[in-house]
Structure 1
Amino acid sequence: MKKKENLTDFKDDIIGWEVHEYEKHERSRPWYFIAVSIAFLLLLYSFFTSNFLFAFIIVLASLVFVMYEGQIPGIVKISLTDEGVVVGRKFYDYDEIKNFTVIYKPRLETKNIYFEFKNVFRHRLSVPLEKMDPIVIRENLLKYLPENHERTDPPLSEGLAKLFKL
């Protein structure tokens, strides 16, 4: 019987670091009060308009939020190899990635790599750099991928998530 290959075992780990699975925000009591009020108002609206699917989505999103709120984010290992990018147990081959962007803006507390995929149905991959040197990361990625010079700011979705502490 053939042994299953470990996806994270590659010949050459060029650079590796660890990050939190997701960013955990500190939220105040007023934030929770506003969030519950908005959810309640949306539920009322959905019942008055007989949109029960919307009500189900609001309840489901609230349950997911409550589940994640009590958890501590796990640690994920990031590796740049000579074959692709490893994020935790997932491997992304350089052939699947269209381009990358390194955004380093200390004033906005942003220090991330963004990978865009060739497949339009795949969402952009955002990887925090934390204490890594963005110049070294960029120089290593340029050996394998083109850089997207058009993206100069973090995506709007990340800015809104940070603003609303989601």
Structure 2
Amino acid sequence: MKIKKSNKKRIKKIEKAEKKLQKALKKEARNLEKETNTIYDEAILSWSAPEYMKHKKGTIWYAAFVILFIGGAILAYIFDAWSFALVLAVFVVTYLVVDRKNPKKVKVILSNLGIKVGKRIYQYNRIQAFWINYAPPFVRTLNIRVHGEYMVDIEIQLDKQNPSHVHQFLSQKVPELEGKKEGLISIFSRIFKL
């Protein structure tokens, strides 16, 4: 009985220490983002790329968008679903406002301590794995899975950067998720130009 209790106490202490460490690492990363030049700016590899890919939409796309919106509005009217109509209208307005924005160019830096994307810093000890999706001209991304309070997959555009150089460098620092393909949501948003 005493052995079980002492093991539980040790496990709780370890979990508590791990949470404190993760919190300290996040705080350090936030502080480093505020500084102008850090050790993370000492690039082994660097390039500029858009924050995200913006797909060009033609008149057919906008016509289909309007038809879907009108169809949804008609269905909301038929079924007397005013809350659905309101949500639909808010979605359309929000999407069109967000869609007008062009992605900013960010500088991506791979250093000996981590990856810096714009002002965000991802330390290698917080990156669980990486993988590269490269199928030009549609997909050119470096993806990293960051460990924190919850798992987050971050997509970094490679633009014109050579993926083999990125792979060669990162494979020395972080484990690779081999065989990982583009996610269903990414494929869906690329096909429908969302």
Which TM-score applies when normalising by structure 2?
0.71
Map of 2:144 onto structure 1: 115
Distance 2:92 2:101 in 1: 15
Alignment of 1:1-166 (within 5 A): 5=32, 6-7=34-35, 9-11=37-39, 12-46=42-76, 48=79, 50=81, 52=83, 54-106=84-136, 109-119=138-148, 121-151=150-180, 153-166=181-194
Distance 2:155 2:139 in 1: 11
What residue ranges of structure 1 are gaps of 5+ in the alignment? Answer: none
Give the secondary-structure state (helix, strand or coil) at the position aligned to 1:100: strand
Larger Rg: 2
Q: Of Structure 1 and Structure 2, which has the larger fraction of its residues in strand? A: 1
Number of residue-to-residue matches in the alignment: 160
Distance 1:14 1:65 in 2: 38
Distance 1:125 1:89 in 2: 14
When structure 1 is superposed on structure 2, of 6-15 and 128-137 the one drifting more is 6-15
Distance 2:87 2:37 in 1: 39
Which TM-score applies when normalising by structure 1?
0.82
When structure 1 is superposed on structure 2, of 154-163 and 23-32 the one drifting more is 23-32
What residue ranges of structure 2 are gaps of 5+ in the alignment? Answer: 1-30
- Quote the RMSD (CA, aligned, Å): 2.3
